[in-house]
Amino acid sequence: MRPLVILLTFLILSLNLPAQENQELRIEPPFWWTGFNHTELQLLVHGKAISATSVHIRYPGVELVSVDTVPNPNYLFINMKISPETQPGSFPIRFMKEKAVVAEVRYELLRRKDPSNRFQGFDASDVIYLLMPDRFANGDTLNDNLPGMRQLADRSNPDGRHGGDIRGITDHLDYIMDLGVTALWINPLLENNQEIYSYHGYSATDYYLIDPRFGTNEDYLELSDNIHQRGMKLIMDMVFNHCGSFHWWMEDLPSPDWINQWPEFTRSSYRGGTVSDPYATPSDSIKFVKGWFDKTMPDLNQHNPFLKNYLIQNSLWWIEYASLDGIRQDTHPYPVKDMMAEWGKRVLDEYPDFNIVGECWLAYPPAVAYWQKDAGDRDGYNSNIPSVFDFPLYDALKVAFNEAEGWSSGIVRLYDVLSQDFVYPDPSNLVIFADNHDINRYLDTQEDDIRKLKMAMAFILTTRGIPQLYYGTELLMTTGEDKGHGSIRKDVMGGWPSDPRNTFSIEGRTPEEQDMYTYLRTILRWRQNTPVIHTGRLRHFIPQDGVYVYFRFNETDTVMVVMNNNEEETVLETGRFSEFLNPGTTGTEIISGVSIYPLRNLVIPGKTAMIIELSQ
């Protein structure tokens, strides 16, 4: 079913009206639910000259509060109130002109879903697996090219569509679960009917429709069910800052201020700090917020109250419809920040356990902390967004293992960034990562040195925060010669029927790939059942001679992590750590499974991390 476009049969009751049978009348949200705390609902109605009609609704518990018109006569906004005792069901919405019904549509109110096993949020007990749906696996080659889609599949073009889809993800859920991750962040799946670069998903052309080349809305529901049946969680990628230049409303905007328009194309400065900078000139923050992210990405104006409602309701619709557990918000500082704060509050009011992670791509901890809920920002701002990505830690991780050790270089960079956690209201709710779909794969930033990749993975899987892995890291996928975005987002070998080998299976992997897969799987599966890593305290020691040591601990358990950033093997004398180690302490290194006793002089190979579970 295509739920967004409701086909109407116009009831022609007046000879004065032209016959318009089966004209498409778009109503969004296409349906809603009873039982939300927030009882107001605003419907966007799009149809030719619809503003000239009067609206009539009769359903117990549903009150038609008002109808708003906007400069474009092809739009109406219906303001309804759904009282708490309203029963699920459907009712007609009648559009009348001169005492005649000119259009009628049935609107459905569904019963809200049982929250158990849904809307769970995500936290430091989770590990997020990020995948790009066009590049993960092609489970249905019949949907690669579809009529009406502007861009055809072309796997030879690194920036083209390759054909991956929801079926491909569903087919490999056992692979993902077996690896030991617990949550899926899938790059946007909404329709991106653009002429170029449509594969990446950040140019939505319909906010209520899964791109048919990925599958249907029902396929997404089925994927969500399959994820939840496996005890995993689903995080949806959302974009409020911009839509695609071929979005359906671009040809018929409700009002000129629906998007931010400039006399000539004006690009955002991408300087996210300007909206928190106490010294910023307003002209800089305006250009950052109202400038366009790209020529093909019209900048939405969240000051417009109808658009604001539209976006908030759209996110609630997807949470309830697809039983989401979390949202990743793209370019989080770019939209109007007060609107984003209201959005965060509305989501958490309805789904108290939910989590939202904002992409706040900023270099310094205070700039990132500004965007985390309850940060106590001096300008009075509260984002209401529980989680943000830890870009400062990523910046440190990218260089820490490549540099010579020095006062402020080398592995001390990790220590230094973490030492600034006092600026965050909740450091454990930061999403930490070594790479993602926008930056070079970690291995590529480390001269393809697998030892460094393993250190990075051991680090993000044991320090504070919510780890996020990028698909294919477990298979040693690299960026290769081509450094463009397309090469960061390569296809998984074996995801396409014509691939020469299938890296999703042990038989299809090289020994090196299998070694990396096993390394990650071992830590991930151990981490799942080690609560001290999820909620335990972190204490770290100043790195000495290129060796960084930290502990995760609670009342019953202690884990010691040792990272040797030297090329050479190092013998670590452990006397400094006597607050955690006593003469009888023994340890088990969880990657190798080797027992260690005594823990007095630890031998650590060069460029290696050891994760040691302690027993007193």
Shortest distance (Å) from residue 215 CB to Ca ion? 8
Cβ contact 206:192 at 8 Å: no
The whole-angstrom separation of Cα 431 and Cα 93 is: 44
Q: Is 198 in the site for Ca ion (CB under 5 A)?
A: no
Measured from the CB atom, the residue of 121 and 163 that comes closer to Ca ion is 163
The whole-angstrom separation of Cα 287 and Cα 363 is: 20
Cβ contact 440:471 at 8 Å: no
Considering CB under 5 A, how many residues would be counted as binding Ca ion?
6
Shortest distance (Å) from residue 128 CB to Ca ion? 24
Shortest distance (Å) from residue 489 CB to Ca ion? 16
Shortest distance (Å) from residue 478 CB to Ca ion? 24
Shortest distance (Å) from residue 141 CB to Ca ion? 6
Q: Which stretch binds Ca ion (CB under 5 A): 128-136, 161-169, 367-375, 553-561?
A: 161-169
Q: Hey, what are 341's tokens? A: 């704060």
Count the neighbouring beta carbons within 10 Å of the beta carbon of residue 88: 12
What backbone torsions phi and psi does residue 104 show, to the nearest 5 degrees? -145, 135
Q: Which stretch binds Ca ion (CB under 5 A): 91-99, 144-152, 302-310, 344-352?
A: 144-152
The whole-angstrom separation of Cα 376 and Cα 147 is: 51
One residue of 123, 126, 144, 350 binding Ca ion per CB under 5 A:
144
The whole-angstrom separation of Cα 397 and Cα 442 is: 9
Q: Which stretch binds Ca ion (CB under 5 A): 53-61, 140-148, 188-196, 363-371?
A: 140-148
Measured from the CB atom, the residue of 140 and 320 that comes closer to Ca ion is 140
Q: Which stretch binds Ca ion (CB under 5 A): 76-84, 160-168, 177-185, 382-390?
A: 160-168
Q: Hey, which residues are catalytic here?
A: 330, 359
Taking CB under 5 A as the criterion, which residues in 233-292 touch Ca ion? none
* Helix spans in 419-566 (H): 442-445, 450-460, 485-488, 511-528, 531-535
One residue of 47, 163, 344, 587 binding Ca ion per CB under 5 A:
163
Would you call 27 exposed, middle or buried from its count of C-beta atoms within 10 A (0-12, 13-18, 19+)?
buried
Shortest distance (Å) from residue 204 CB to Ca ion? 19
One residue of 34, 53, 86, 138 binding Ca ion per CB under 5 A:
138
Measured from the CB atom, the residue of 29 and 164 that comes closer to Ca ion is 164
> What DSSP designation does 18 have?
P
Measured from the CB atom, the residue of 502 and 518 that comes closer to Ca ion is 502
Give me Rg for the CA atoms of the chain.
26
E strands, 211-354, in order: 233-238, 326-329
One residue of 165, 330, 350, 390 binding Ca ion per CB under 5 A:
165
Q: Is 143 in the site for Ca ion (CB under 5 A)?
A: yes
Q: Which stretch binds Ca ion (CB under 5 A): 115-123, 137-145, 315-323, 579-587?
A: 137-145
Measured from the CB atom, the residue of 138 and 309 that comes closer to Ca ion is 138
Query: What Cα–Cα distance (Å) separates residue 127 from each residue in 181, 351, 466?
Result: 5, 21, 6
Shortest distance (Å) from residue 173 CB to Ca ion? 17
The whole-angstrom separation of Cα 38 and Cα 67 is: 19
For tokens 């996928």, what's the residue? 477
Shortest distance (Å) from residue 150 CB to Ca ion? 16
Q: Which stretch binds Ca ion (CB under 5 A): 155-163, 298-306, 491-499, 507-515?
A: 155-163
Measured from the CB atom, the residue of 298 and 494 that comes closer to Ca ion is 494
The whole-angstrom separation of Cα 88 and Cα 53 is: 27
Measured from the CB atom, the residue of 143 and 329 that comes closer to Ca ion is 143
- Distance spanning both ends of the chain, measured CA to CA: 60
In this structure, are strands 24-28 and 40-46 parallel, antiparallel, or unpaired? antiparallel
Measured from the CB atom, the residue of 31 and 175 that comes closer to Ca ion is 175
Measured from the CB atom, the residue of 123 and 144 that comes closer to Ca ion is 144
Residue at 365: amino acid letter: P
Shortest distance (Å) from residue 213 CB to Ca ion? 6
Cβ contact 102:24 at 8 Å: no
Q: Is 487 in the site for Ca ion (CB under 5 A)?
A: no
Which residues touch 254 (CB under 8 Å, ≥6 apart)?
Answer: 44, 70, 71, 72, 75, 306
Cβ contact 614:581 at 8 Å: yes
Interface residues with Ca ion (CB under 5 A)?
Answer: 138, 140, 143-144, 163, 165
